[in-house]
A and B are shown apart, each in its own frame.
Chain A
């Protein structure tokens, strides 16, 4: 330790009480700004600070690690330890276990606690604030059928969505006459209610709680409303508001507000200048801020002050935009004004209202339900002259989005970043993409709702968000697809001469080959196309680390006869290949040299096998479980369907590989939800899930449609695949594609189920063409001497095997020997 002089900045002991997002932002800011004193954070929860805003994602698969913030180096944390007393004279805090922690500067960041009304039985209810709370709710929901959330505000609806996700039949009880009274007015509330009820939740507005009743064993059985009616429920969650945790401050004599909250000045100092309070426990400008954005600003102000800076907290915009249960709700600026303009569509479930000053010139605020686009485009104009006629602003979200934002307009409310700051960062740091802007300004890193605006600012700064495939084409794959389709282009040469530069590369050539194959379905090695293919497609096999290839015959649905199994065994034995059962329910034969491939395939084709396209960006396998034919639980013939689907889509070239599976019942033995399109049998038919994959970033598929007949199912899959093929980026699996499509799965559903773009007939015809013109490319290859002549190790010595290929043996099979240079 160097130069510890009493009183100088940077050598003091800072103790932070509470380890939530605000405390984390404080220590992170201090660390970033080079504070070199000692920082100790004492938190009552058993874990380091985590992203509470994203709490609900913990129930849908995010892990604690995903949500936890990184603790900056050098910060001492004491977890699972509650501060019980503050001695301001001695400058010491004590924790529940009796340990004393001396401080020079104390920061209270104790957040808030859910308010639980004092009704009989309330002690049996849950709250929704921490990871531990969610664990408890999850356990209690395991053998429950019904749940009630008390409170229909932002957090209450989020909790209700969580209960619904846990499979409970869910009720929402709200004291006010409508839902989300802090964000929407009565009209918005009624539209919102329509959405929520449409999802199967019951809304009891204008109702309170009389008591929570239990059975003899103390187990919750229901909630009684003030009018005496009983709602059956085994899980009750209170989300009826929050109260600042100011108990420590109160006990040590710091000034607190009448209705709670630790009083602070604009530098976040309490009535004791050595004690700061930040985040949800603080009462700044007479207000407690229950949103994370202002809390972060407070943390930054306090950090600056501790370091001797002049920063001040000026209050904050309490605008909110969120997507709850799939419904967009937003509120910005004031919730009243001399004039207002309302657009209401109860059928479409859209409600938008703008508040305007009495001279009809200044935008004061707005409310949106069902379509929050005005939030993004108009929030920065609050307090400023209306940029266009109000009606236009309400209708043309997109048009309004084209408006130029003033520099001082706030773009990211979570992190208080202005349009000017983003523009400066783009210019000074020569930023070219959203991740760059996020890293430099923090904008967009919390709730993400401002990301569309960041994109817009990038574009307006003249940054071309490059979608170019590579140096040879300035187009995205989807654009090239359309060029090829609309202009009827049949060769790579024609495409690059007219729409590109140079002669292509390993990125654009296979991508164009795939587009040509999707649209024309000719042989992949026909004419010029052969030169476009990756070595895998070129030799119709998968290259291995030593330059040999693997052979994967198609085994549709994983069903195979003993005779065919024997053929595979014989071929492997004859050519000395290594054999392995793959994860795709088929058999892979490894170690073939190029000149052996045609002879191997001749044997396989004669025995009735065809290419398994393990090498292609194409359909791989449709896995199946045994299904109703044998399995005592099966409700449909999953093997039969898997085979039909595999035969239908075999050979279909796509932006990336496609995998599928069919399970015969909800036990899901075929792991269909990990596939690009997965099918699970129901008593009535089939449920179709899309957008799943394993691999680097596993994702479960989402339900696209349920209880389909086999014909309906196939029609929807046809369109799903063709729409994907048409619009996805190169090497973009369906999961990433759906995430990238504006409007996500809902949009995809509209296009392929409701035909919103009028495309379905075309997509259907394209798939019909594929099915009708499919031919096995290995059979076609062994029948064509010209194509076969390429399968040699050496042009000048066709009979000579590559001498550099050598094997050793392991567990009775061959294994490549490679000398890495």
Chain B
């Protein structure tokens, strides 16, 4: 796996996203309240705009999420699955903090969305 350093950890605001350009790929990065870092694709599959990094971060049933800023569909930060539409998912990327810096790995094989969503991804009533 090849890691790319994108920014200092402290640049990421807690519970807010930022976007990084890695190998021509737009990666949305999120730092959740517990200090975890997640990376998913920045392209909002519903609108075709690259905006997911600018959505509101939160939780649904305990799972960390982001809501698209355009039409509010909610995506899991863990799996990339859309929790409002089981047919849709965005890619996820491995992300970690090393030496105070945020690193992500964008490799072809890992940009696929998981084939079978896990049980916790069944959309929950609002």
Contact = CB atoms under 8 A, between A and B. Distances in A.
Contact of B13 (A502, A531, A793, A821): A531
Nearest to A510: B56
A530 B21 contact: no
B33 interface: yes
Most buried by A among B16, B49, B57: B49
A374 to B, nearest CB: 40
B61 interface: yes
B20 interface: yes
Given A547-B50, A821-B48, A794 B69 contact: no
B122 interface: no
B107 interface: no
A814 to B, nearest CB: 16
Interface residues of A, number: 40
Nearest to A818: B48
Interface of A is mostly: loop
Given A503-B33, A538-B54, A795 B62 contact: no
Nearest to A793: B19
A471 interface: yes
A447 B80 CA distance: 50
A546 interface: yes
Interface in B70-101: 70, 72, 74
B22 A796 contact: yes
Nearest to B66: A506
A790 B33 CA distance: 19
Contacts of A506: 55-56, 58, 67, 72, 74
Contacts of A532: 56
Contacts of B14: 528, 531
A535 interface: yes
Given A506-B74, A546-B49, A795 B20 contact: yes
Interface in A790-814: 790, 793-797, 800, 802, 804
B53 to A, nearest CB: 9
Interface residues of B, number: 43
Contact of A818 (B21, B47, B60, B64): B47
A513 to B, nearest CB: 10
A800 B21 contact: yes
A719 to B, nearest CB: 32
A356 B72 CA distance: 59
A580 interface: no
A241 interface: no
A820 interface: yes
A717 to B, nearest CB: 32
Contacts of B124: 471
B51 A471 contact: no
A509 B50 contact: no
A795 B7 contact: yes
B49 A545 contact: yes
A471 B54 contact: no
B20 A503 contact: no
B60 A505 contact: yes
B59 interface: yes
Contact of B126 (A470, A493, A790, A796): A470
Contact of A503 (B26, B54, B55, B59): B59
A471 B61 contact: yes
Contacts of A538: 16, 54
A816 B13 CA distance: 30
26 contacts: A471-B60, A502-B58, A502-B60, A503-B64, A504-B59, A505-B59, A506-B74, A530-B16, A534-B69, A535-B54, A535-B55, A536-B69, A543-B54, A545-B49, A546-B49, A790-B18, A794-B21, A794-B26, A796-B20, A796-B22, A802-B50, A804-B43, A804-B49, A818-B49, A819-B48, A820-B48
